[in-house]
């Protein structure tokens, strides 16, 4: 027996170990909590900028360059906000320094003597194309350009004017009537000019240039189309950049649409009244980026968006889409952003408002002048605004508006996007077109995550839980020692391999053998019950030949034979019941079938989730105190009654935890979903269609997105949604587990 000193030393050693273990375990637990908190803090830090409000700050104010004598037709600037341009009503063009307003160069447009500028139009802002309608029925087309000179490695912006159709005015109206309103657009197919004459005739002129191979001379060819009289007194005319849609706004508050796909037969196709009553009039109309949507400003300070929507007859009609916050004074002018669908509106009180249609937000209303603002222009980077007020003061404004696309409605509610017939949930973050309207709805991704998890759990949960019940309670110890580790080893399979097999082998197999797959799913449980019933009908001496706990092994040959029979008969079943193709039959009855779909994901991801649920549930069932089961059996209960009324109730906390952990595993799965679905963000629970999940979307798009962009930060929002979703699942699981444990701990 140890002496007193040895016992004291042993107690001291044991106390040291106990204290060390206490602090180590506590520190580990706190470390887990701290890690979760740091994840949340990091996600929150990345999301904070998206909530920042838009700002407009005054940079400088000076008298408009070139003098206030003539009214201003157009203002514009280069992308570096160093050089600006002003078109005046007398045909003079001034280039000036943005910082000081000092004139740099004056260019006089080649307007014939005795001819006046009667109208003015601008093409899509990025084209820098301007058209001036003259009083003799001709027009001048001009482009202002800003070239860069890098002499001595110093950037210098060099402005210049070019005349894409020559210095001479282009004939527009053969009758030489004054052009009261005019619009222009240029595309790869050519250039189109739409105009309304003084007597309210609508004309369309298509321009093209041809360069002589021999002389190098450029010849301008024109094709005129008379579209008839306008339906009302026109106050503005606009033509889309694809040159097939023409819009007229009249003095009675109506928009008129012309389909120009066949110009010789074009006429008013549809009209829509866009003012509430006769006391309100249209004050300004302009296109958003892409020339699909129209923004209408009115004399009562209201702003609305309209675009064309196709009806069931495949015909376009003008549709009111949304309204924006009202200004306190009449809208005087609009300016559209160069790279996004946003716009600025100015009113007669000198207030400038920033608006964004997709998020349906009025981001800011900022007073910038003491008199009405007459002309407004964005910089090509959307970082500055030029605002000319009625007193001929030019205001240079700095704009800070990095994330206008974000709003709760844009992320979680239906949004009516351009080109769609109705509001919808859509995720489409990028496109090859610069005119693309980003769509950031989180609903398809969240629904896709739940859809993939649901079908995975639909397959995994019954197999794993029922398998755990049999392995823990009915299976022989020798067989259990083989089965349980084998199933747990399945969890070590890389999910990228499972996704690879699901995408390249399982998806084509399921498509080619749909009847077999559903026959196996539906009839195999029935075959197992039938086999068990026939086994119970055998003589007792025959059943004794199989040791207790090994009965399930007898199902293996039956399952293999039945599966082989289903696959072999699948083509014949398709011929007998589905006219040779189950997929085509589904399509004909209105069910879309994609090769990589939720069924394939459910099978593959269910295979990945089964080991997690099985292992935890089996341990919970196996560790039910033996005195409970023995007492139940001693009181005359059958083994099945003991399982259902004693064992499962006692093990229910562990089984529930297993299911919820498996569900959390399915929610966060990435590679299987990424490789085994079409990765299409659709809004349905169709088992024969794919989906896009939050985790797969982050994996696909985050490496390609620009750091700090709205897209980048919304992907972090998706990560936060995924984090919160799994956090909620785990929290609910723990609460239910504790309640179940408390409820059945007295058994």
Please, what CATH class does the domain formed by 72-273 belong to? mainly beta
Q: Helix or strand or coil: residue 475?
A: coil
Output the six-digit token pair for 254.
Answer: 């109506």
HEC readout, 637-679 = CCHHHHHHHHHHHHHHHHHHHHHHHHHHHHHHCCHHHHHHCCC
Q: Is the predicted pLDDT of residue 626 greater than 70, yes or no? A: yes
Distances (CA, A) of 134 to 191, 233, 334: 18, 19, 24
Query: Taking residues 604-617, what's their average pLDDT?
Result: 92
pLDDT in tens, 705-720: 888 888 899 999 999 9
Q: Residue 211: left if φ>0, alpha if ψ -120 to 50, beta else—which one?
A: beta
pLDDT in tens, 673-703: 888 888 888 888 888 988 999 999 999 998 8
Average pLDDT of the chain to the nearest whole number:
88
- Which residues lie across from 318 on neighbouring strands? 308
pLDDT-based confidence at residue 457 (cuts at 50, 70, 90): very high
Chain CA centroid to CA 321, Å: 19
Q: What is the pTM of this model?
A: 0.86
**pLDDT for the residue 166:** 84
More confident site: 367 or 643: 367
**Tally of CB atoms within 10 A around 28:** 10
Please, what CATH class does the domain formed by 284-417 belong to? mainly beta
Gap between the Cα atoms of 693 and 448, Å rounded: 5
Query: Taking residues 315-338, what's their average pLDDT?
Result: 93
Spatial contact of 294 and 254, defined as CB atoms under 8 Å apart: no
Q: Is the predicted pLDDT of residue 473 greater than 90, yes or no? A: no
Query: Taking residues 359-375, what's their average pLDDT?
Result: 92
Q: What DSSP letter does each residue of 166-221 carry, written as one string?
A: -SSPEE--TT---EEEEEEEEETTEEEEEEEETT-EEEEEEEEEEE-TTT--EEEE
Pairing mode of beta strands 117-122, 129-134 = antiparallel
Q: Is the predicted pLDDT of residue 341 greater than 80, yes or no? A: yes
Q: Is the predicted pLDDT of residue 218 greater than 80, yes or no? A: no
**pLDDT for the residue 204:** 92
Element (H, E) at 19: helix 4-47
Element (H, E) at 496: helix 495-501
Gap between the Cα atoms of 683 and 690, Å rounded: 10
**pLDDT for the residue 367:** 94
- Which residues lie across from 272 on neighbouring strands? 255
Asked whether the domain spanning 443-507+593-745 has the same topology as the one spanning 284-417, the reply is: no
Query: Taking residues 48-64, what's their average pLDDT?
Result: 90
**pLDDT for the residue 213:** 65
**pLDDT for the residue 326:** 93
* Start-to-end Cα distance in the chain: 43
Query: Taking residues 512-539, what's their average pLDDT?
Result: 84
- Residues whose CB falls within 8 Å of the CB of residue 230, separated by 6 or more in sequence, listed in order: 196, 200, 201, 202, 248, 250, 256
- The full set of domain ranges for the chain reads 72-273, 284-417, 443-507+593-745
Q: Is the predicted pLDDT of residue 67 greater than 70, yes or no? A: yes
For a pLDDT cut of 90, what percent of the chain falls above it?
A: 38
Output the six-digit token pair for 250.
Answer: 């009249």
Please, what CATH class does the domain formed by 443-507+593-745 belong to? mainly alpha
Distances (CA, A) of 689 to 83, 176, 561, 676: 54, 61, 30, 11
| Half-sphere exposure at residue 477, Cβ-oriented, CA atoms within 13 angstroms | 0
pLDDT-based confidence at residue 75 (cuts at 50, 70, 90): very high
pLDDT in tens, 171-215: 998 899 999 999 999 887 789 999 999 988 999 999 888 776 666
pLDDT-based confidence at residue 493 (cuts at 50, 70, 90): confident
**pLDDT for the residue 215:** 66
Output the six-digit token pair for 262.
Answer: 């066949």
């Amino acid at each position: 027996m140890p002496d007193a000193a040895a016992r004291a030393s042993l107690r001291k050693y044991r106390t040291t170990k106990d204290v060390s273990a206490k602090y180590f375990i506590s520190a580990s637990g706190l470390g887990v909590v701290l890690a979760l908190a740091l994840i949340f803090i990091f996600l929150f830090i990345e999301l904070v900028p998206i909530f920042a409000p838009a700002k407009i700050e005054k940079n400088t104010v000076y008298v408009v360059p070139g003098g206030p004598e003539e009214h201003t037709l157009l203002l514009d600037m280069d992308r570096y906000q160093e050089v600006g341009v002003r078109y005046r009503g007398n045909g003079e063009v001034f280039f000036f320094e943005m910082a000081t307003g000092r004139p740099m160069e004056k260019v006089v447009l080649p307007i014939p003597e005795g001819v006046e500028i009667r109208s003015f139009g601008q093409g899509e802002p990025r084209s820098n194309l301007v058209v001036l309608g003259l009083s003799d029925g001709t027009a001048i087309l001009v482009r202002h350009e800003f070239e860069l000179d890098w002499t001595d490695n110093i950037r210098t912006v060099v402005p210049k004017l070019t005349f894409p159709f020559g210095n001479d005015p282009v004939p527009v109206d053969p009758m030489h009537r004054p052009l009261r309103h005019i619009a222009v657009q240029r595309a790869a197919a050519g250039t189109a000019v739409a105009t309304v004459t003084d007597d309210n005739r609508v004309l369309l002129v298509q321009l093209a240039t041809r360069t002589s191979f021999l002389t190098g001379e450029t010849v301008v060819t024109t094709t005129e189309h008379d579209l008839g009289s306008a339906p009302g007194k026109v106050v503005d005319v606009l033509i889309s950049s694809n040159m097939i849609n023409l819009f007229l706004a009249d003095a009675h508050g109506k928009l008129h649409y012309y389909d120009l796909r066949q110009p010789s037969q074009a006429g008013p196709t549809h009209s829509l009244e866009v003012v509430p009553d006769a006391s309100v009039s249209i004050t300004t109309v302009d296109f958003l980026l892409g020339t699909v949507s129209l923004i209408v400003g009115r004399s009562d300070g209201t702003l609305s968006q309209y675009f064309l929507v196709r009806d069931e007859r495949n015909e376009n009609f003008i549709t009111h889409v949304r309204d924006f916050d009202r200004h306190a004074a009449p809208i005087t002018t609009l300016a559209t952003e160069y790279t996004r669908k946003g716009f600025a509106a100015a009113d007669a009180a000198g207030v400038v408002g920033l608006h964004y249609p997709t998020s349906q937000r009025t981001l800011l209303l900022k007073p910038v002048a003491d008199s009405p603002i007459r002309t407004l222009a964005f910089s090509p980077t959307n970082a500055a605004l030029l605002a000319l007020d009625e007193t001929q003061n030019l205001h240079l404004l700095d704009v800070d508006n990095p994330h206008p696309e974000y709003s709760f409605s844009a992320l979680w509610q239906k949004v009516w996007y351009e080109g769609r017939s109705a509001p919808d949930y859509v995720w489409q973050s990028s496109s090859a077109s610069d005119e693309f309207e980003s769509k950031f709805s989180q609903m398809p991704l969240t629904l896709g995550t739940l859809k993939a998890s649901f079908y995975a759990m639909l397959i995994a949960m019954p197999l794993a839980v029922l398998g755990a019940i049999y392995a823990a309670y009915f299976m022989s110890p020798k067989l259990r020692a083989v089965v349980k580790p084998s199933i747990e080893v399945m969890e070590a399979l890389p999910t990228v391999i499972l996704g690879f097999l699901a995408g390249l082998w399982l998806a084509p197999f399921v498509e080619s053998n749909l009847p077999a797959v559903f026959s196996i799913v539906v009839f195999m449980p029935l075959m197992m019950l039938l086999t068990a019933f026939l086994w119970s009908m055998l003589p007792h001496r025959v059943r004794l030949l199989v040791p207790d706990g090994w009965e399930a092994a007898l199902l293996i040959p039956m399952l293999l034979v039945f599966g082989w029979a289903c696959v072999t008969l699948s083509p014949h079943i398709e011929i007998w019941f589905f006219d040779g193709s189950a997929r085509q039959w589904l399509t004909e009855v209105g069910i879309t079938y994609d090769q990589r779909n939720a069924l394939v994901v459910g099978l593959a991801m269910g295979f990945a989730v089964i080991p997690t649920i099985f292992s935890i549930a089996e341990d919970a069932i196996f560790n039910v105190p033996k005195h409970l089961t023995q007492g139940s059996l001693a009181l005359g209960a059958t083994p099945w009654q003991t399982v259902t009324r004693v064992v499962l109730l006692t093990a229910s906390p562990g089984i529930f935890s297993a299911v919820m952990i498996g569900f959390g595993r399915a929610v966060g799965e990435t590679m299987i979903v990424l490789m085994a679905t079409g990765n299409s963000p659709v809004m349905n629970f169709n088992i024969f269609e794919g989906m896009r999940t939050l985790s797969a979307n982050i994996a696909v798009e985050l490496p390609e997105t620009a750091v700090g962009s709205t897209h980048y930060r919304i992907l972090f929002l998706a990560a936060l949604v995924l984090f919160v979703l799994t956090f909620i699942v785990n929290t609910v699981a723990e609460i239910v587990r504790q309640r179940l444990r408390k409820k059945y701990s007295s058994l």
